[in-house]
Structure 1
Protein backbone atom coordinates (compact mmCIF):
# COMPACT_ATOMS: atom_id res chain seq x y z
CA UNK A 1 0.00 0.00 0.00
CA UNK A 2 1.21 3.47 -0.85
CA UNK A 3 2.13 5.78 2.04
CA UNK A 4 0.13 8.64 0.48
CA UNK A 5 -3.02 6.53 0.70
CA UNK A 6 -2.51 6.04 4.43
CA UNK A 7 -1.90 9.74 4.89
CA UNK A 8 -5.03 10.64 2.93
CA UNK A 9 -7.13 8.16 4.91
CA UNK A 10 -5.81 9.58 8.18
CA UNK A 11 -6.54 13.13 7.03
CA UNK A 12 -10.06 12.19 5.98
CA UNK A 13 -10.74 10.48 9.30
CA UNK A 14 -9.53 13.57 11.17
CA UNK A 15 -11.63 15.95 9.05
CA UNK A 16 -14.79 13.86 9.10
CA UNK A 17 -15.94 14.85 12.62
CA UNK A 18 -15.91 18.49 11.50
CA UNK A 19 -19.11 17.84 9.56
CA UNK A 20 -20.93 16.46 12.59
CA UNK A 21 -22.51 18.39 15.45
CA UNK A 22 -20.22 18.92 18.41
CA UNK A 23 -21.81 17.32 21.49
CA UNK A 24 -19.94 19.80 23.69
CA UNK A 25 -22.15 22.65 22.40
CA UNK A 26 -25.57 20.99 22.47
CA UNK A 27 -26.73 22.99 25.50
CA UNK A 28 -24.33 25.92 25.21
CA UNK A 29 -25.49 29.48 24.81
CA UNK A 30 -24.42 31.46 21.74
CA UNK A 31 -22.06 33.48 23.95
CA UNK A 32 -20.34 30.34 25.18
CA UNK A 33 -20.00 29.08 21.60
CA UNK A 34 -18.50 32.38 20.48
CA UNK A 35 -16.06 32.39 23.39
CA UNK A 36 -14.94 28.84 22.58
CA UNK A 37 -14.53 29.77 18.91
CA UNK A 38 -12.36 32.77 19.80
CA UNK A 39 -10.26 30.62 22.12
CA UNK A 40 -9.79 28.00 19.39
CA UNK A 41 -8.81 30.75 16.94
CA UNK A 42 -6.26 32.14 19.40
CA UNK A 43 -4.82 28.69 20.10
CA UNK A 44 -4.47 27.97 16.38
CA UNK A 45 -2.58 31.23 15.84
CA UNK A 46 -0.31 30.55 18.82
CA UNK A 47 0.50 27.05 17.56
CA UNK A 48 1.40 28.48 14.16
CA UNK A 49 3.68 31.04 15.77
CA UNK A 50 5.36 28.42 17.94
CA UNK A 51 5.99 26.17 14.96
CA UNK A 52 7.41 29.12 13.02
CA UNK A 53 9.81 29.97 15.83
CA UNK A 54 10.91 26.35 16.08
CA UNK A 55 11.50 26.21 12.33
CA UNK A 56 13.54 29.43 12.38
CA UNK A 57 15.76 28.10 15.16
CA UNK A 58 16.24 24.81 13.32
CA UNK A 59 14.36 22.68 15.85
CA UNK A 60 11.08 22.27 13.98
CA UNK A 61 9.75 19.67 11.61
CA UNK A 62 9.08 21.19 8.17
CA UNK A 63 5.95 19.11 7.66
CA UNK A 64 4.52 20.19 11.01
CA UNK A 65 5.30 23.80 10.09
CA UNK A 66 3.42 23.54 6.80
CA UNK A 67 0.46 21.94 8.54
CA UNK A 68 0.39 24.59 11.28
CA UNK A 69 0.59 27.38 8.72
CA UNK A 70 -2.22 25.83 6.68
CA UNK A 71 -4.40 25.62 9.79
CA UNK A 72 -3.58 29.22 10.65
CA UNK A 73 -4.42 30.34 7.12
CA UNK A 74 -7.75 28.53 7.27
CA UNK A 75 -8.56 30.07 10.66
CA UNK A 76 -7.78 33.58 9.42
CA UNK A 77 -9.81 33.08 6.23
CA UNK A 78 -12.74 31.85 8.32
CA UNK A 79 -12.49 34.85 10.65
CA UNK A 80 -12.42 37.23 7.68
CA UNK A 81 -15.45 35.53 6.14
CA UNK A 82 -17.41 35.79 9.39
CA UNK A 83 -16.43 39.43 9.73
CA UNK A 84 -17.59 40.15 6.18
CA UNK A 85 -20.94 38.47 6.85
CA UNK A 86 -21.42 40.52 10.02
CA UNK A 87 -20.63 43.74 8.14
CA UNK A 88 -23.05 42.79 5.36
CA UNK A 89 -25.79 42.08 7.89
CA UNK A 90 -25.16 45.42 9.61
CA UNK A 91 -25.35 47.23 6.28
CA UNK A 92 -28.63 45.48 5.48
CA UNK A 93 -30.03 46.64 8.82
CA UNK A 94 -28.99 50.21 8.06
CA UNK A 95 -30.79 50.06 4.70
CA UNK A 96 -34.09 48.98 6.26
CA UNK A 97 -36.80 51.60 6.21
CA UNK A 98 -37.97 52.62 9.65
Structure 2
Protein backbone atom coordinates (compact mmCIF):
# COMPACT_ATOMS: atom_id res chain seq x y z
CA UNK A 1 0.00 0.00 0.00
CA UNK A 2 2.85 2.40 0.78
CA UNK A 3 4.43 1.69 -2.59
CA UNK A 4 1.24 2.74 -4.35
CA UNK A 5 1.07 5.93 -2.26
CA UNK A 6 4.70 6.74 -3.03
CA UNK A 7 4.15 6.13 -6.75
CA UNK A 8 1.04 8.31 -6.76
CA UNK A 9 2.97 11.05 -4.97
CA UNK A 10 5.77 10.90 -7.52
CA UNK A 11 3.32 11.03 -10.43
CA UNK A 12 1.56 14.01 -8.86
CA UNK A 13 4.86 15.84 -8.32
CA UNK A 14 5.83 15.20 -11.95
CA UNK A 15 2.47 16.40 -13.30
CA UNK A 16 2.16 19.45 -11.07
CA UNK A 17 4.53 21.76 -12.99
CA UNK A 18 2.43 21.22 -16.13
CA UNK A 19 -0.64 22.61 -14.36
CA UNK A 20 1.01 25.65 -12.79
CA UNK A 21 0.65 29.01 -14.52
CA UNK A 22 3.63 29.80 -16.67
CA UNK A 23 5.50 33.02 -16.27
CA UNK A 24 4.52 36.23 -14.63
CA UNK A 25 5.95 38.41 -17.38
CA UNK A 26 4.39 41.36 -19.07
CA UNK A 27 1.78 41.26 -21.79
CA UNK A 28 4.46 42.12 -24.34
CA UNK A 29 6.52 39.11 -23.35
CA UNK A 30 3.43 36.93 -23.57
CA UNK A 31 2.71 38.22 -27.08
CA UNK A 32 6.29 37.52 -28.17
CA UNK A 33 6.12 33.99 -26.74
CA UNK A 34 2.77 33.43 -28.45
CA UNK A 35 4.21 34.55 -31.80
CA UNK A 36 7.23 32.26 -31.35
CA UNK A 37 5.00 29.29 -30.53
CA UNK A 38 2.80 30.05 -33.54
CA UNK A 39 5.82 30.23 -35.83
CA UNK A 40 7.28 27.02 -34.40
CA UNK A 41 3.98 25.21 -34.95
CA UNK A 42 3.84 26.32 -38.57
CA UNK A 43 7.48 25.39 -39.20
CA UNK A 44 7.01 21.96 -37.64
CA UNK A 45 3.93 21.32 -39.77
CA UNK A 46 5.80 22.40 -42.89
CA UNK A 47 8.69 20.06 -42.10
CA UNK A 48 6.27 17.19 -41.49
CA UNK A 49 4.48 17.90 -44.76
CA UNK A 50 7.76 17.91 -46.65
CA UNK A 51 8.80 14.66 -44.99
CA UNK A 52 5.44 13.09 -45.89
CA UNK A 53 5.86 14.09 -49.53
CA UNK A 54 9.26 12.41 -49.69
CA UNK A 55 8.09 9.33 -47.81
CA UNK A 56 9.87 10.19 -44.55
CA UNK A 57 6.76 10.59 -42.40
CA UNK A 58 3.62 8.57 -41.98
CA UNK A 59 0.23 10.00 -42.99
CA UNK A 60 -0.93 10.03 -39.36
CA UNK A 61 1.85 12.47 -38.42
CA UNK A 62 0.88 14.66 -41.37
CA UNK A 63 -2.77 14.74 -40.30
CA UNK A 64 -1.77 15.65 -36.74
CA UNK A 65 0.52 18.43 -37.96
CA UNK A 66 -2.19 19.84 -40.21
CA UNK A 67 -4.73 19.74 -37.38
CA UNK A 68 -2.34 21.60 -35.06
CA UNK A 69 -1.67 24.17 -37.75
CA UNK A 70 -5.39 24.66 -38.37
CA UNK A 71 -6.00 25.15 -34.66
CA UNK A 72 -3.12 27.66 -34.40
CA UNK A 73 -4.37 29.66 -37.37
CA UNK A 74 -7.94 29.70 -36.04
CA UNK A 75 -6.66 30.94 -32.67
CA UNK A 76 -4.59 33.67 -34.34
CA UNK A 77 -7.58 34.80 -36.40
CA UNK A 78 -9.77 34.90 -33.29
CA UNK A 79 -7.21 37.00 -31.41
CA UNK A 80 -6.87 39.33 -34.40
CA UNK A 81 -10.64 39.75 -34.60
CA UNK A 82 -10.82 40.57 -30.89
CA UNK A 83 -8.03 43.15 -31.20
CA UNK A 84 -9.73 44.80 -34.18
CA UNK A 85 -13.05 44.82 -32.31
CA UNK A 86 -11.43 46.42 -29.26
CA UNK A 87 -9.71 49.04 -31.44
CA UNK A 88 -12.99 49.91 -33.15
CA UNK A 89 -14.67 50.20 -29.76
CA UNK A 90 -11.97 52.61 -28.62
CA UNK A 91 -12.48 54.71 -31.76
CA UNK A 92 -16.21 54.98 -30.97
CA UNK A 93 -15.56 56.43 -27.50
CA UNK A 94 -16.22 60.13 -27.12
CA UNK A 95 -13.22 62.24 -26.22
**TM-score using structure 1 length:** 0.74
| Matches of 1:35 and 1:69, distance apart in 2 | 23
What is the aligned partner in structure 2 of residue 83 from structure 1?
A: 80
What is the aligned partner in structure 1 of residue 14 from structure 2?
A: none
| Matches of 1:37 and 1:77, distance apart in 2 | 14
What is the aligned partner in structure 2 of residue 22 from structure 1?
A: 21
Cα RMSD after superposing both structures:
1.2
**TM-score using structure 2 length:** 0.76
| Structure 2: gaps (5+ residues) | 1-17
Q: 1:21 to 1:91 in 2, by over 3 A?
A: farther
Which of the two has higher C-alpha Rg? Answer: 2
What is the aligned partner in structure 2 of residue 13 from structure 1?
A: none
Give the paired residue count.
Answer: 78
| Structure 1: gaps (5+ residues) | 1-16
Deviation of 1:65 (Å): 0.6
